[in-house]
Amino acid sequence: MDEQALIGSRVHRLRTERGLTQRQLAEPAYTPAYISTLESGRVRPSEAALRFLAERLGTSYEELSTGRPPHLATELRLALTDAQRALATGAADEAAARYRRLLTDAERLDLTPERAEALLGLGDCALESGELSSATDHFEAAERLLADEPLPRRARPIRGRAVAHLLAGELRYACYLLESTIDELNAGGLGDPEALVLLYAAAIGPYIDMGAHARAARAAELALALAPHVQDPALVAGMHRQVARTFLAEGRVADADASLAKAQAVYRQLRMRTDLAHCHWMRGYVQAQNGELMAAEVELRTAREMLSAKRAALYTAQVEVELADVLRRLGRHDEAAGLLSAVLELGDSHGAVHAGGAHRLLGLIAEERGEVESAEEHYVQALALLERSGATGDLADLCRLLGDLLRRTGRIEAALDAYRTGLGHRASPGTTTLGPAPTGLTAAPPRAA
């Protein structure tokens, strides 16, 4: 039976269940003959006609047009909000289990927006747990579903894909995705604050790893300026969720949906804490570069605490690399070495740049302790990790450290090889993508040809 006939069948069933004649249902806007033709499946009703008939039949436009009771979609949205809460305030694996169940339900009910939301949730969970290939698949699927939506609506899957590529060591492509989307948002007058915070904050990581420090600092500044200020957002969101449950129990579906929309907005802001933590990390990095080590430690610990509270193990370990460097420079070597072990426990399949950074720092600590063999071992491991990541500035510095170590131990030829390798990887400061600086960001120095 085609859709036209199915709608006619529903109208006939609901009319007879309510004891209405075709004339009673039709008047005053339509004729009994129109209702007869519609019920027999010989005409496709307009949206206006369906909304009129739905009101007369005491049902919703959605149920009359799709056969799906409206409370099912609202209950699914309520469950998605619960999953958002689980991700914002708890562990990624627990939230992922909820999102997988909800994706199945959304596919069964043919609810496209809810399918996209479940896929975005699964992508965020996979990012936090370090399952980068899975995260990319989920974000790409969500972006396909949202292909006809305005660009701000697609910012989340684009940002998710960029972060996955960044963590996989594909720095240039991550920059390209973020910069081109920021440019398009600003050029098209679509500067949605939430979308821009997500994109600017996500750009910090690849900018830092590629040596574009001015761009990274500007992105952090813009993200923090745009970030909304929420007083106890978890409490507010929880209140809206409970109100939605009350409305749903009373059959007030529209009111329930309105409360859920408010709760979802707050949980999106809560998830933004991951991005804001990266902004604190950026501040700490800049302060460390300026020799303000005590202030840098405060900012980096703030970022670490924010990420640790969400049990985002991968991100937490990455911030710990920067914090360990500050602690090393403050002379607290044992504390620094303890933090670096968290990154190395992740293995070298995730976060290669930061794992390489951890080995580099352990090599420096070993050198400062006079443990030459251990230092060389860490430098060599770091070199292997960074060579496949594209972090050219880090590679050049590492080759210098290794060359200096080899030279001091009398291995001149090996030292020269290390120096040559470093020169080969050296890039112009500020090199990012093949495109110009994104709108609103401080331009970087000219790129090498």
Alpha-carbon separation of residue 207 from 30, 40, 165, 204, 287 (angstroms): 63, 63, 13, 5, 16
Identify whether the C-beta of residue 49 lies closer than 8 Å to the C-beta of residue 30. Answer: yes
Q: 314: closest CA among 106, 91, 80, 10?
A: 91
Q: Summarize pLDDT for 338-364 with one digit per residue, the tens.
A: 888 767 876 655 566 778 888 989 999
Asked whether 267 and 238 are in contact (CB, 8 A), the reply is: no
Choice among 35-39, 252-256, 295-299, 409-413 with the minimum mean pLDDT: 252-256
Instruction: Please compute, for residue 449, the number of CA atoms within 13 A of its CA located in the half-sphere on the CB side.
Output: 0
Using one digit for the tens of pLDDT, what is the confidence trace for 197-210? 778 877 877 777 77
CA–CA dist 31, 257 (Å, integer): 34
Of residues 405, 71, 60, the one with CA closest to residue 253: 71
The Cα 187–Cα 136 span in angstroms is: 27
Which residue type does 448 have?
A: A
Going by pLDDT thresholds of 50, 70 and 90, the confidence category of residue 154 is very high
| Number of helices and strands in the chain (H, E) | 22, 0
* Residues whose CB falls within 8 Å of the CB of residue 334, separated by 6 or more in sequence, listed in order: none
Region of 331 (left: φ > 0; alpha: ψ -120 to 50; beta: rest) is left
Rounding to the nearest 10 degrees, give the CA dihedral for residues 220, 133, 352, 384. Answer: -150
CB 120 within 8 A of CB 156: yes
- The model's confidence at residue 430, banded by pLDDT at 50, 70 and 90, is very low
Q: Are 58 and 19 in contact (CB under 8 A)?
A: no
3-state SS class at 147: coil
Residue 385 is predicted with a pLDDT of 80
The residues, any chain, with a CB within 8 Å of residue 127's CB and separated by 6 or more, are: 135, 160, 163, 164, 167, 314
Question: Which structure tokens are listed for 64?
Answer: 């009359």
- Rg of the chain, C-alpha, whole Å: 28
The fraction of the chain above a pLDDT of 90, given in percent, is 25
pLDDT over 60 (residue 111): yes
C-alpha to C-alpha distance for 166 and 380, rounded to whole angstroms? 22
272-297: pLDDT as tens digits: 666 667 678 777 876 887 788 998 89
The Cα–Cα gap between 191 and 183 comes to 10
Half-sphere exposure in the Cβ direction for 52 (13 Å, CA): 14
Separation of alpha carbons 18 and 13, rounded Å:
9
- Residue 138 vs residues 70, 86, 102, 158, 356: alpha-carbon distances, Å: 27, 18, 14, 11, 28
The percent of residues above 70 in pLDDT, for the chain, comes to: 77
Q: Note the pTM of the prediction, 2 decimals.
A: 0.62
How many angstroms separate the CA atoms of 8 and 40, rounded?
A: 6
Task: Give, rounded to a whole angstrom, the gap between the first and last alpha carbons of the chain.
Answer: 63
Q: Tokens 């957002």 belong to which residue?
A: 233
- Is pLDDT at 436 greater than 50 in this prediction? no
Average confidence score pLDDT of the chain: 79
